[in-house]
Structure 1
Amino acid sequence: MLSFSRRGLSFLVRAEQSSPNSISLSQVRFGRRELIAVSVIAPWVSMVNQTSPSFAAETKKGYLLVTDKKDGYSFLYPFGWQEVVIEGQDKVFKDVIEPLESISVNVIPTVKQDIRDFGPPQQVAETLIKKVLAPSSQKTKLIEAKEHGADGKVYYTFEFVAQAPNFTRHALSAIAIGNGKFYTLTTGANERRWGKMKDKLQTIIDSFEIFNV
């Protein structure tokens, strides 16, 4: 079972800000020993780059590859998106024109060995969406959650929407456990641009992988 504490949370979401979906895991408790603070600030994607610089190389037309050799993960992001530094996240990239189009990666310590230890995909996804990935003021809906494996690692991926008074964000997330860490990658776009962006965002999710370090 997943349990979360909202004490000390800070929620500030404005559609006009650079990317209105950011999570900073800092007050979330996954079981007894895993307490981290959560602040949800606009954007959904924030970061403190305390690791060594990313190693980027174009691996697919229109995308660049980011590899974090310290924390043990990699993913593709669309060419032209910019890396930004926002407190609370490990990596953040965003579109310079569309504020809701962004990627965030969060890495927190865990004593769990497998993402399945937290429960089935739908249960874990619903809890993360309601308690971490969207402010309590937003209306959220889980569309789909599923499990897949690659190179001996288990991933949960899920799709959801979060509705605020002045915008709706359609998002995809991937989560996994490895190296004593809980990894969360979230990307999304304004609902009005979902039809145009969904394949591009799915490529990001499909590219996300963790590796042993």
Structure 2
Amino acid sequence: MVIKTQNMATSSVSLNWVPPATFTKKSNLPWPQSNELARAATFSLRNSVTCPKETTSNEENTCKRRLLLLGVGTVTAGLLPATSLLAEEIPQNYKAFVDIPDGYSYFYPSDWREFEFRGHDSAFKDRFLQLQNVRVRFLPTEKKDIHDLGPIEEVVYNLVNHVYAAPNQMANILDMKERTTDGKNYYTFEYELTSSNYASASFATLAIGNGRYYTLVVGALERRWRRVRDKLKVVADSFKVLDI
């Protein structure tokens, strides 16, 4: 699991059921319930990294940045409710990404790796197929609920045809649905974008909360869609807005 926290060094957990964590710029922690982690996250560093005393100011600043990115720690399991530590909460072959400061979470395939996607807050991609990926972005909004944008049919049509599709692409909306989780409403839809030499298919999930309009998109090349559709649908359906 990957958890993004503010002003916090990268941390990994040594719980029996948690698989070995790979170091990323985010923290690896057990799956929290909503904002429980924000109340319970007290870190005890198992390993310490120090800067040499004799350094220039530039070297010291560089060292401090490295400490923030490379610090290794653990979370005391007893600080989290027992129900938060149940491995079955995360589907097999998936990991959880939890962004506490920005108020959202989702599952992603466990063999995907994090990468930078311009204009997005978080993103993961297949290790071998870069166009098979998930990314999340958000924008400020004064609206309080996804229903404030309009009916799902109207919202999805406008997004797919006028935002997601390039001028040379043909858009095809395959499915759309609404869901309510923990009192928050979500729109999730499936669509295809086709041009003369390229075709892709994707799921997108929309939500509003915390004064933000969140969008998660997970997709792949159209020729692979039949094989990976169900796998990527888990990602789209797992997106949740957390209270911050």
TM-score relative to the length of structure 2: 0.63
C-alpha contact (below 8 Å) 1:130/1:136 kept by paired residues:
no
Structure 2 Cα separation of the partners of residues 141 and 177 of structure 1: 25
2:202 to 171, 180, 191: 171
Which residue does 2:96 correspond to in 1? 65
Cα deviation for residue 51 of structure 1 reads 6.3
1:97 to 122, 128, 146: 128
Which residue does 1:45 correspond to in 2? none
Cα deviation for residue 60 of structure 1 reads 2.5
Structure 1 Cα separation of the partners of residues 175 and 153 of structure 2: 8
Cα deviation for residue 143 of structure 1 reads 1.3
Q: Does 1:123 align with 2:190?
A: no
Where structure 2 has 5 or more consecutive residues not aligned to the other structure, the ranges are 8-24, 31-86
Structure 2 Cα separation of the partners of residues 78 and 108 of structure 1: 25
User: Amino acid of the residue matched to residue 180 of structure 1?
Assistant: G
C-alpha contact (below 8 Å) 2:188/2:237 kept by paired residues:
no
Structure 2 Cα separation of the partners of residues 107 and 168 of structure 1: 25
Provide the identity percentage: 37
Alpha-carbon deviations, 1:189-210, whole Å to 9, x = none?
Answer: 1111111101100110111101
C-alpha contact (below 8 Å) 1:105/1:185 kept by paired residues:
yes
Cα deviation for residue 99 of structure 1 reads 2.8
Q: Does 1:54 align with 2:85?
A: no
Higher helix fraction: Structure 1 or Structure 2?
Answer: 2
User: Amino acid of the residue matched to residue 199 of structure 1?
Assistant: D
The equivalences for 1:1-213 within 5 A come to 54-56=26-28, 59-213=90-244
C-alpha contact (below 8 Å) 1:144/1:160 kept by paired residues:
yes
- Further displaced range: 149-158 or 56-65: 56-65
Structure 2 Cα separation of the partners of residues 50 and 110 of structure 1: 23
Which structure 1 residue ranges, 4+ long, deviate > 3 Å from structure 2? 49-58
Aligned pairs, number: 165
Cα deviation for residue 50 of structure 1 reads 11
Instruction: Tell me: CA distance 1:51–1:84, structure 2 relative to 1, closer, same or farther (3 Å).
Output: farther
User: Amino acid of the residue matched to residue 117 of structure 2?
Assistant: I
For the aligned residue pairs, the C-alpha RMSD in angstroms reads: 1.9
Instruction: Tell me: CA distance 1:121–1:51, structure 2 relative to 1, closer, same or farther (3 Å).
Output: farther
> 3-state SS of the aligned residue for 1:60?
coil
- Which of the two has higher C-alpha Rg? 2
TM-score relative to the length of structure 1: 0.72
